[in-house]
Amino acid sequence: MDIYVGRQPILNRNDEVIGYELFYRSGEQNFYNAIDGDRATVDVLINSFMNIGIERLTNGARCFINFTEKLLKKGVPFHFPKHLIVVEILESIPYSSHLLHICKQLKGEGYVIALDDFIFSEQYIPLLPYVDIIKIDLSKQVNYRDFKYYIEQYRIKLLAEKIETKEQLQHSKNEGFSYFQGYFFSKPIVVKEKSLPKISFYSKLNLIKQINKNELNFDEIVQTIEKDPALTYRLLKTVNSFFLSKAPKIKSIRHAAALLGTNRLKSWLTVLTLQEPNEPFKNEIIVNSLIRAKTLEQLACLTHLSDEKDILFFMGICSSLDLLLQRPLKEILQELHVDEAIQHGLNGQTCIYSILYHLVIALETNDTNKLEEITTILNIDLSKAFVIYQQSIEWVVELQRNIQIK
């Protein structure tokens, strides 16, 4: 199964792309299939920041995203970087004191606010001091001169939507519009990515428990992430979306979580819990990733790498990302800024990580010749390696059993 996000560029008066509006898409067909608006926005956010990645989707430019009234009330925009999103308030959201309060908060935190398909009404006047952009649909008869006074007073920028001709563009520029969007520049392009399994029901329960505590238990959160490879991948994508090209090389799941920091980690967890969970461990690839991760972690204790067991566990989780995403593993690891030692270990370069990884593969396939060769190189007892592998399988089975009970 694949995931899709539509994007359409937004340009300034110099014909430079300053951002992209992101749209919900359910397939390669370039149109919106009507679903619940809350779900559509949550899917766009998760698919953009945690699956596809903002760097790939917009090259780091701002994302214009529609937020429903319910998601605004939940404070969902605050869980995303203010330098990467523009909060679009839909025309269907009625004015209220609560909406005004939310806009004040967003503006105070430095977020950019846009009113979508705006039609002037006096009830919206209290909102205008906190608005940065007003989007005008050129296909509708909107007399923006009715609120020109407020545009000038609050220095609000106008964005012309649905520009289809050169004449419309020139007219909009003459009328003082600052930003432009429409088929004249580009139809929305659908970006496609291989879908990951959703987070397990068990993981979701644990995350909900954690975010409702007064203080996050960092160790418990890391343990929850470690047991869910799909969750691990989303964490890596989120770190890279937040840091863009400046993301440091990631050495372990704990390292990735620490890079986000407590507040952003809590925000990330909160957004994930908005999406429907998957049935736990339906995917055999995920089960195999966990077995590899646990085996590598325990093998570290038989060598001089006991201090690096977290790194080796992480390497095991990463080892099956190519099967989950149907893309070359080397490309995925580079994109996620995974530590080079782990990349070398999984890409077959001669190093201790690579030797340990090939030992795990030999255990999986029961390749006796390879097992004898590698255990001799590592100077470890073959029988102990078998015991570790069996214990790792039992660990995953027990994990599945606990999830089913809960």
pLDDT in tens, 139-197: 777 677 777 888 899 999 999 999 999 999 999 999 889 999 999 999 999 998 887 77
pLDDT score for 193 = 84
What's the rounded Cα separation, in Å, for the pair 187 and 9? 9
pLDDT score for 283 = 67
Residue 34 pLDDT exceeds 60: no
What value, to the nearest 5°, has the Cα angle with vertex 401 and ends 400 and 403? 65
In the numeric block, which tokens belong to residue 348? Answer: 């077959």
Q: Does domain 2-193 have CATH number 3.20.20.450?
A: yes
Beta bridge partner(s), residue 250: 338
pLDDT score for 164 = 93
First to last CA, the chain: 28
In the numeric block, which tokens belong to residue 213? Answer: 């505590």
What's the rounded Cα separation, in Å, for the pair 339 and 279? 31
pLDDT score for 310 = 92
pLDDT score for 201 = 65
Secondary structure element (H or E) that encloses residue 89, with its range: strand 85-89
In the numeric block, which tokens belong to residue 375? Answer: 């255990």
pLDDT score for 402 = 61
**How large is the average pLDDT for residues 226-251?**
84
Provide the 3-class DSSP secondary structure of residue 169.
helix
In the numeric block, which tokens belong to residue 22? Answer: 């992101």
**How large is the average pLDDT for residues 7-28?**
91
In the numeric block, which tokens belong to residue 16? Answer: 């430079």
In the numeric block, which tokens belong to residue 255? Answer: 């390292």
pLDDT score for 32 = 56
**How large is the average pLDDT for residues 8-17?**
95
Residue 405 pLDDT exceeds 50: no
pLDDT score for 28 = 66
Ranges of each domain in the chain: 2-193, 197-406
In the numeric block, which tokens belong to residue 197? Answer: 């399994």
Q: Taking every pair of C-alpha atoms in the chain, what is the biggest distance, in angstroms? A: 83
pLDDT score for 281 = 47
Residue 328 pLDDT exceeds 70: yes
Averaging pLDDT over each range in 91-105, 134-148, 199-213, 254-268, which range is the top one?
91-105
Give 200's DSSP letter: B
Residue 406 pLDDT exceeds 50: no
Burial profile 21-47: b = 16 or more Cβ within 10 angstroms, e = fewer? bbbbbeeeeeeeeeeebbebbbbbbbb
How far is residue 25 from each of residues 30, 48, 59, 192, measured CA to CA in Å? 7, 12, 20, 10
Residue 330 backbone phi and psi in degrees, to 5: -60, -45
Share of the chain above pLDDT 70, in %: 91
Residue 237 pLDDT exceeds 70: yes
Sign of CA dihedral 378, 287, 234, 256: negative
Runs of H (alpha helix) within 175-217: 201-211
What's the rounded Cα separation, in Å, for the pair 58 and 20? 7
Same fold, 2-193 and 197-406: no
Count Cβ atoms below 10 Å from residue 355 Cβ, excluding itself. 15
In the numeric block, which tokens belong to residue 162? Answer: 């649905």
pLDDT score for 203 = 73
In the numeric block, which tokens belong to residue 310? Answer: 């977290």
Contacts of 17 (CB under 8 A, 6+ apart): 9, 10, 11, 61
Residue 277's pLDDT band (cuts 50, 70, 90): low
How far is residue 72 from each of residues 98, 100, 103, 124, measured CA to CA in Å? 10, 11, 9, 17
What's the rounded Cα separation, in Å, for the pair 271 and 274? 5
Asked if 203 contacts 277 with a C-beta cutoff of 8 angstroms, the reply is: yes
Residue 210 pLDDT exceeds 80: no
pLDDT in tens, 279-325: 444 568 888 999 999 999 999 998 889 999 999 999 999 999 888 88
Query: Can you identify the CATH homologous superfamily of domain 197-406?
Result: Hypothetical protein af1432 (1.10.3210.10)
pLDDT in tens, 42-101: 889 988 988 888 888 998 899 999 999 999 998 899 989 899 999 999 888 888 999 999
pLDDT score for 271 = 82
Residue 227 pLDDT exceeds 90: no
Runs of H (alpha helix) within 142-279: 148-153, 166-174, 201-211, 218-226, 229-243, 253-272
